[in-house]
């Protein structure tokens, strides 16, 4: 069987699993975010949400295992998709639980980069909104119970995430924990990329208009 056939098998699996994984990712995000947004949950509900979270996590792991099994060169495929390996393995460690939010972003990216090809503006806006929402939830999880924390509500977290992604950075809200600062670094990188993409899109539009006028 040729490499192309193996690649086709992986792509076919990704096409068939795309919608189910997207729905599972939404369920995962709800299970992840609900206890953070409402820390006074009933114990039974919190246990149920935890079970949903880990069940979806297992589905992500199975999906990656199937993709590796379908690949021609499995070790090479796993190395090329090291970010999938990290997103599956690292969040087992509690200090790295913020990476669970990145699993949702990874599934969205895998879906929409194919479906939004050529629609750069839509993709950039979607990326910015998703980064703000996920960053706010993750930083609230990291910061709320920390001593001297100044991000203690979802409103604070959304404000901080928005100013960080847009690279405004007022400094009235800021993370004080190592985990929160790692989230901040990730949002800064996303913000720089988003601002650069918007600037490039505006520049391209202006150049196109000037060329038409000329």
Domain ranges across the chain: 1-94, 116-214
116-214: which CATH number, 3.20.20.70, 3.40.50.720, 1.10.287.70, 1.10.3720.10?
Answer: 1.10.287.70
Question: Which residues, 6 or more positions from 44, have their beta carbon under 8 angstroms from its beta carbon?
Answer: none
Got the DSSP string for 4-58?
A: HHHHHHHHHHHHHHHHHHHHHHHHHHHHHHHHHH-TT--HHHHHHHHHHHHHHHH
Pick the residue with more confidence: 124 or 159? 159
Ranges 38-42, 57-61, 78-82, 95-99: which has the least confidence: 95-99
Output the pTM of the full model. 0.66
Residue 160 has pLDDT above 90, yes or no: yes
**Residue 166: DSSP 8-state:** T
- Encode pLDDT of 78-115 as tens digits: 888 877 777 777 655 444 455 555 555 666 566 555 55
């Amino acid at each position: 069987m040729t490499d192309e056939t193996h690649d086709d098998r992986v792509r076919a699996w990704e096409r068939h699993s795309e919608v189910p994984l997207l729905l599972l990712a939404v369920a995962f995000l709800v299970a992840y975010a609900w206890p953070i947004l409402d820390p006074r949950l009933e114990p039974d509900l919190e246990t149920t949400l935890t079970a949903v979270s880990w069940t979806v996590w297992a589905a992500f792991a199975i999906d990656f295992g199937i993709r590796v099994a379908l690949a021609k060169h499995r070790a090479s495929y796993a190395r090329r998709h090291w970010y999938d390996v990290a997103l599956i393995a690292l969040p087992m460690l509690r200090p790295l639980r913020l990476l669970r939010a990145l699993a949702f972003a990874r599934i969205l990216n895998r879906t929409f980069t194919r479906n939004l090809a050529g629609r750069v503006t839509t993709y950039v806006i979607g990326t910015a909104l998703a980064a703000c929402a996920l960053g706010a939830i993750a930083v609230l999880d990291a910061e709320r119970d920390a001593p001297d924390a100044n991000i203690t509500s979802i409103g604070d977290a959304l404000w901080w995430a928005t100013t960080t992604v847009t690279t405004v950075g007022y400094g009235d809200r800021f993370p004080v924990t190592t985990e929160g600062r790692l989230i901040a670094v990730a949002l800064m990188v996303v913000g720089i990329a988003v601002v650069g993409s918007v600037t490039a899109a505006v520049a391209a539009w202006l150049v196109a208009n000037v060329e038409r006028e000329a």
